[in-house]
Amino acid sequence: MSGAGVGGASEESQAMQAHVSIILPVHNAEPWLDECLRSVLQQDFEGQVWGYH
């Protein structure tokens, strides 16, 4: 049975979407932080990127 979910997406398509969190515990890493964040954002993850803080 396929019902409409959030935003009209079916339950099956919602189940197929991965939710990924990336946590970067750092200390005194300012010289490398920009390079690290760019590397994370350049990964070939095909899901939606919501943002970073």
Domain ranges across the chain: 21-46
Task: State residue 27's pLDDT score.
Answer: 93
Residues 9-41: tens digit of each pLDDT: 566 665 667 777 888 888 999 999 999 999 988
Alpha carbon separation from 15 to 7, 19, 29, 33 (Å, rounded)? 14, 10, 36, 33
Cα separation, 40 vs 42, in Å, equals 5
Task: State residue 8's pLDDT score.
Answer: 58
Cα separation, 41 vs 23, in Å, equals 13
